[in-house]
Amino acid sequence: MRLNSVKYLFKQGTRNIAYNKLMAFASFCVLLVSLLLVGFSLLFYVNINLLVADIEAKNEVIVFLDEDTSDERINSINKSLKAMENIDTVVFYSKEEAFAHLKASMADSEVLFDSMGDDNPLVDSFKIRIKDINFTDETVSEIEKLDNILSIRAPLEFVDILTGLKRVISIISVSIIIALIIVSMVIISNTTKASVFARRKEISIMKYVGATNAFIRIPFFVEGMLTGILSGVAATLTTWFGYDALVRVLTQDNDILKIFGTGSLVPFKDLALSVAVSYMVAGAVLGAIGCVISTRKHLKV
């Protein structure tokens, strides 16, 4: 095909949008709403995951050591803990630090601590962050096998609840997103079908003068793709303003997020590029495929 013909077909595609303004606007709106529904659901999912990860990160396992464990042995335990696969960070917490912390936190009971003199009843410990809380049980068992371990405090029940919560949130979120994608596809398909149906005569004329299916489809493809990209741009801007406004309301005015134990939502600027690209690619693909598939029926002339 000549370059001149390719240019002509692309020009026809853009002209068709201007000519079929109403149907193009309908397709644009349907694509926009579909992209926003799926996009906001995904953003909700991303933030819920962040919230859970935040709670997960606060989860701490404390390993208490036997009284009078030697410095050499403490070093050795430190190394062993760091070598364990599911352990993220290991921080040594000496009994002196612990005692000072206890005193500071119980400033009202100064008399009690004075009577104890230098006698420190506490023991040395390690504060550990677990990488994957699903395997907390296994990691605790592994630590227990080490010598000079007095006891381990691990929030196993909390881990169970959190893991369950994560699973439920994932299932619900993914189900909602899949349902929204399916509903969007059906609506998009019907809108493009209506748009193409309105132009079935035009398609049949093209067929009668000997146009190939590809020749007829390319302008529709371009038209659908451009409408999709425009919807993607509009969806990005709407999400940007909408999401930022939501973040402002939730973080500044009401401190609602603090109820959930987290300080903030993922800022839009961190997601902007992936959101914009996803919206535009999804819009372009859905628009183009929708248009091309809808023409198929009318090409059988």
Partner 1 sequence: MVELKNVSVKYPSGVEALKNVNLTINDGDFAFVVGSSGAGKSTLIKLILREIEATKGTVIVNGFNLSKLKRDKIPKLRRTIGVVFQDFRLIPNMTVYENIAFVLRVIDAPLKYIRKRVPYVISLVGLQHKVHSYPDELSGGEQQRVALARALVNDPQLIIADEPTGNIDPELSYEIVELLKGINNCGTTILMVTHEHDLVRHFGGRIISINSGSVVFDEIIGGNDEIK
Q: In what order do the strands lie in the sheet with 61-65?
A: 87-93, 125-130, 61-65, 149-153
Our CA angle for 270, 273, 279, nearest 5°, is 125
Residue 73, interface with partner 1 (CB under 8 A)? Answer: no
Residue 19, interface with partner 1 (CB under 8 A)? Answer: yes
Q: Distances from the Cα of 53 to the Cαs of 35, 49, 261, in angstroms? A: 26, 6, 11
Q: Other C-beta atoms within 10 Å of 216: how many?
A: 21
Residue 129, interface with partner 1 (CB under 8 A)? Answer: no
User: How many angstroms separate the most distant Cα atoms in the chain?
Assistant: 106
Task: Report which of 296, 300, 290, 298 is spatially closest to residue 226, judged by C-alpha positions.
Answer: 290
CB of 212 to partner 1, least distance (A): 5
- Residue with smaller CB distance to partner 1, 19 or 260: 19
H helices of the chain, in order, are 3-19, 21-58, 71-83, 95-105, 110-116, 136-144, 156-197, 200-208, 213-248, 256-259, 268-296
Residue 172, interface with partner 1 (CB under 8 A)? Answer: no
Residue 10, interface with partner 1 (CB under 8 A)? Answer: no
Chain centroid, CA 140 distance in Å:
30
Residue 168, interface with partner 1 (CB under 8 A)? Answer: no
Residue 200, interface with partner 1 (CB under 8 A)? Answer: no
User: Among residues 209, 252, 253, 259, which is the contact residue for partner 1, using CB under 8 A?
Assistant: 209
Residue 16, interface with partner 1 (CB under 8 A)? Answer: yes
Task: Report which of 36, 56, 250 is spatially closest to residue 135, judged by C-alpha positions.
Answer: 56
CA-atom Rg of the chain in angstroms: 31
Residue 182, interface with partner 1 (CB under 8 A)? Answer: no
Instruction: Specify the stretch interacting with partner 1 by CB under 8 A; choose among 41-49, 140-148, 202-210, 257-265.
Output: 202-210
Instruction: Specify the stretch interacting with partner 1 by CB under 8 A; choose among 151-159, 165-173, 211-219, 222-230.
Output: 211-219
Question: By the 8 A CB rule, do 56 and 142 touch?
Answer: no
CB of 210 to partner 1, least distance (A): 4
Residue 115, interface with partner 1 (CB under 8 A)? Answer: no
* 288 backbone dihedrals φ, ψ, rounded to 5°: -65, -50
Residue 22, interface with partner 1 (CB under 8 A)? Answer: no
Query: 248 to 267, contacts with partner 1 by CB under 8 A?
Result: none
Q: In angstroms, rounded to a whole number, what is the distance separating the alpha carbons of residues 10 and 223? A: 8
User: Among residues 71, 115, 117, 208, which is the contact residue for partner 1, using CB under 8 A?
Assistant: 208
- Residue with smaller CB distance to partner 1, 154 or 206: 206
Total site size for partner 1, rule CB under 8 A: 22
CB of 12 to partner 1, least distance (A): 9
Residue 201, interface with partner 1 (CB under 8 A)? Answer: yes
Residue 139, interface with partner 1 (CB under 8 A)? Answer: no
User: Among residues 14, 15, 91, 137, which is the contact residue for partner 1, using CB under 8 A?
Assistant: 15
Binding site for partner 1 (CB under 8 A): 1-2, 4-5, 8, 15-16, 19-20, 201-202, 204-212, 215, 301
